[in-house]
Amino acid sequence: MLKALLTNKYLYIIIFSVIVIGSLTLLAIDKVIMPEYTKYNEGVTVPDVTRVSLEEAEEMLTSIGLRFEVADRRANSAYPANYVIDQTPTASILVKPNRKVYLTVNAAVRPTVEVPNVVNLSLRNAQVQLQNYGLSVGSISYESSRFKNVVLRQSIDEGSIVDRGATIDLVVSDGLGDKIVEVPEIIGLRLPDAQLKIREAGLRVGEIRFQPVKEIAPNVVLDFTPKVSTLVEGETLTLVISERFDVTEEVEGGVVFTDSTGNNNQIPDKQPK
């Protein structure tokens, strides 16, 4: 039966027909259907619409079959209000008809934004967060702390209202804070000397509190917190510093009596020191 099937000429005719039809179908898809679907060899060159008004940009784009959308508004003193300062795609790019061109337009009124809190975020997340708010990252400085590339401080406080595009400077951890250092002996030292020893130990001075004391000269370290012998490098100490103790005691009145001469005399209750 298999021999009869293999020698049947109709089998070969069917196979040949399938091959021919398949080849023609693929050829039609490649040369006719797909080019028509994708509009192959048909495109529009994007014009340069920067440095012109939004109305002019709209006319230039729509006249050649392109659409547009205002993607952002920024304040730029080099351009008049409502002038295009940037575009995507850029000029001279070949695109399909009806493609949308995204425009950045100069704002007539300088927009403002509220500064977000990026402290304790990673540097990368802080940069993204600030960019999402329309702000720029300025200088980045580093301080010793335990976790690498974590924002420790920002130059403009959270909640401040600033112009869109304002620059925020960041202080970032360098990750060198895993080192344990000894807290130096600073009690009894004058404040400048104590600050120097603290910095030399790899620590930082935080809050400084003043306390009036009679027996100790002003500007001397009385105490510090946290009260430990070792800390992670880069951590801060809060200092308690002496200040002048000024006390004024008033003389209080005593008993008034009349002596034998007829003069009034007073016995004070307290004598001035």
For the stretch 122-180, pLDDT in tens is: 999 999 999 999 899 999 998 877 778 899 999 999 999 998 889 999 999 887 666 78
Token pair of 63, please? 């006249």
Of 12-16, 147-151, 192-196, 217-221, the least confident: 12-16
Chain centre distance of CA 231: 28
Q: What is the DSSP letter of 76?
A: -
- Residue 26 has a pLDDT of 82
In angstroms, the CA 62 to CA 42 distance is: 17
Top pLDDT among 150 and 259 is at 150
Residue 100, Cβ density class (10 Å: 0-12 exposed, 13-18 middle, ≥19 buried): middle
Chain centre distance of CA 62: 39
Q: Please name which of 207, 192, 202 lies closest in space to residue 230, comparing C-alpha atoms.
A: 202
- Sign (positive/negative) of CA torsion 117, 122, 123, 125? negative
Top pLDDT among 252 and 222 is at 222
Residue 233 binned pLDDT confidence (cut-offs 50, 70, 90): confident
Segment 209-226 shows an average pLDDT of: 93
In angstroms, the CA 195 to CA 204 distance is: 8
Residue 8 binned pLDDT confidence (cut-offs 50, 70, 90): low
Largest CA distance in the chain: 165
In angstroms, the CA 59 to CA 8 distance is: 70
- Residue 232 has a pLDDT of 78
- Residue 36 has a pLDDT of 62
Task: Give pLDDT tens digits for 62-85.
Answer: 999 999 999 988 878 788 889 999
- Residue 76 has a pLDDT of 80
Q: Residue type for 179, please? A: K
User: Mapping DSSP to helix (H, G, I), strand (E, B) and coil, where does residue 184 land?
Assistant: coil
Top pLDDT among 65 and 264 is at 65
Is 38's pLDDT higher than 60? no
Phi, psi (5° rounding) for residue 64? -110, 15
| Edge-first strand listing for the sheet containing 204-212 | 204-212, 236-243, 221-225
Burial string for 27-59 (b: 16+ CB within 10 Å, else e) reads: eeeeeeeeeeeeeeeeebebbebbebbbeebbe
Is 100's pLDDT higher than 60? yes
Q: Where would I find the H helices in 99-204?
A: 123-132, 191-200
Most confidently modeled range among 2-6, 20-24, 50-54, 269-273:
50-54
**Whole-number percent of the chain with pLDDT over 70:** 81
- Residue 25 has a pLDDT of 84
At a CB cut-off of 8 Å and minimum separation 6, what does 230 contact?
180, 181, 182, 183
